[in-house]
Copies of this chain bind each other. A is one copy, B any other.
Amino acid sequence: MRNYNFSAGPAALPVPVLEQVAREMLELPGAGASIMEISHRSKKFEEVIAHAENGIRSLLGLPEEFHVLFLQGGASLQFAMAPMNMLAGSKKADYIITGAWGQKAIKDAQKYGAARVAATTKESNFSRLPESLDLDSGAEFVHFTSNETIQGVQWPQEPQTNGVPLICDASSDILSRPIDVAKYGLIYAGAQKNIGPSGVTVVILRDDLLQKCASDLPPMLDYRVQVDNKSLYNTPNTFGVYVIGLVCDYLQSQGGLAGMQARNEEKARLLYDAIDSTDFYTGHAASNCRSRMNVTWRLPSEELEKRFIEEAKAQGMVELKGHRSVGGLRASIYNAFPREGVVALVEFMKEFERKTG
């Protein structure tokens, strides 16, 4: 039996996508072989990667000036790759730190250039957004993390940067809602939360930023090489790219990003309403930046939290334990997580409070 899987990532995928992958595993239609067995230089794979790219372009409404790449190494490799490409020489960048991933991003960036903290909410244990930003108008870019998976803190809209391009680690909310792409110079995201399996990194890069990138980097770490070769400098994660294309079709069938936003907001509201309706549960994130993807909350004691996790698991609701740095509970409810799973959790929360509260 399939569980309600609240994993923070790799996370739930749409069942129709999994069914199609299973059906096509021995023979991708028209290929005479599994998607895992065909050359990345074949016509068939050209179709597969174009399908995935077009899916992302269409969902986000990306203009031609953006390149779409399918790389490897996750956001963690982009933490180094973005500044290697964009901060060589004496260039400067501002980083806004609202959680654990932003902290990792700036640490790598400081190896490659003048990366500076424009704001941090560390003193609140990353439970809120910064009240103001100390921005350098000479910065090449402003980096932010649109959704901090561990803390459950999400920007309701982009930070204001007076025209300096945003670089966004969108690993945990990409394709979960419409965004204003004109504000972005670079968006990168590991696929494994909202749009596919782990092992593929989607990189969306505006051409004017590409033109200013460093050269003479190792080819795998050089955005120019990756763009010039359309993600095929070496063998990409062909299976992962295929799954992303199927997930994009699924998202389109659900009303595109506006449809996903409505569904994701409703799922999150059900959970936050349950948290807010009682003092038994306490949300971690401030209400103006509560994540629609990762809902984080506490119970009155660690003992009760442990019992909650165990009893929920016994009812097929798994992966609810919060990250150790925040504690408590975390329910990750990305794109593919079903509404009925949220309803089941809310029922369980009420019953658990009745029994123990």
Interface of A is mostly: loop
- Known A7-B39, A37-B10; contact A108-B219, beta-carbon cutoff 8 A: yes
Contact across chains for A198 and B235 when beta carbons are under 8 A apart? yes
Contact across chains for A238 and B199 when beta carbons are under 8 A apart? yes
Chain B residues near A316: list those with CB within 8 A: 32
Per-position binary interface string of chain A over residues 19-56, scored 1 when its CB falls under 8 Å from any chain B CB and 0 otherwise? 10111011100001110111110100000000000000
Interface size on A, residues (CB 8 A): 63
Chain B nearest Cβ from A172, distance in angstroms? 11
Contact across chains for B22 and A198 when beta carbons are under 8 A apart? no
Contact across chains for A36 and B243 when beta carbons are under 8 A apart? yes
Contact across chains for A36 and B13 when beta carbons are under 8 A apart? yes
Does A283 reach chain B (CB closer than 8 Å)?
no
Does A9 reach chain B (CB closer than 8 Å)?
yes
Chain B nearest Cβ from A95, distance in angstroms? 16
Chain B residues near A282: list those with CB within 8 A: none
Contact across chains for B10 and A19 when beta carbons are under 8 A apart? no
Contact across chains for B5 and A37 when beta carbons are under 8 A apart? yes
Contact across chains for B72 and A73 when beta carbons are under 8 A apart? yes
Chain B residues near A40: list those with CB within 8 A: 10, 198
Expressed in whole angstroms, the Cα–Cα distance for A12 and B1 within the complex equals 32
Does A15 reach chain B (CB closer than 8 Å)?
yes
Does A322 reach chain B (CB closer than 8 Å)?
no
Q: Which of A75-83, A118-126, A162-170, A347-355 contacts B (4 or more CB under 8 A)?
A: A75-83
Contact across chains for A77 and B12 when beta carbons are under 8 A apart? no
Expressed in whole angstroms, the Cα–Cα distance for A19 and B73 within the complex equals 28
Chain B nearest Cβ from A241, distance in angstroms? 9
- Known A9-B39, A11-B37, A199-B240; contact A74-B221, beta-carbon cutoff 8 A: no
Does A192 reach chain B (CB closer than 8 Å)?
yes
Expressed in whole angstroms, the Cα–Cα distance for A12 and B234 within the complex equals 18
Per-position binary interface string of chain A over residues 179-191, scored 1 when its CB falls under 8 Å from any chain B CB and 0 otherwise? 0000000000010
Contact across chains for B37 and A26 when beta carbons are under 8 A apart? no
With most chain B CB atoms within 10 A of its CB, the pick from A3, A73, A74, A221 is A73
Q: List 11 A-B contacts (CB under 8 A).
A: A3-B32, A5-B33, A9-B39, A21-B25, A42-B319, A74-B234, A76-B219, A199-B199, A199-B235, A239-B239, A239-B240
Chain A: residues with CB nearer than 8 A to chain B?
Answer: 1-3, 5, 7-13, 15, 18-19, 21-23, 25-27, 32-34, 36-40, 42, 72-77, 79-80, 108, 111, 190, 192, 196-200, 216, 218-221, 233-240, 243, 316, 318-319
Shortest Cβ-Cβ A-B pairs, 5 listed:
A199-B237, A3-B32, A80-B218, A22-B25, A72-B72
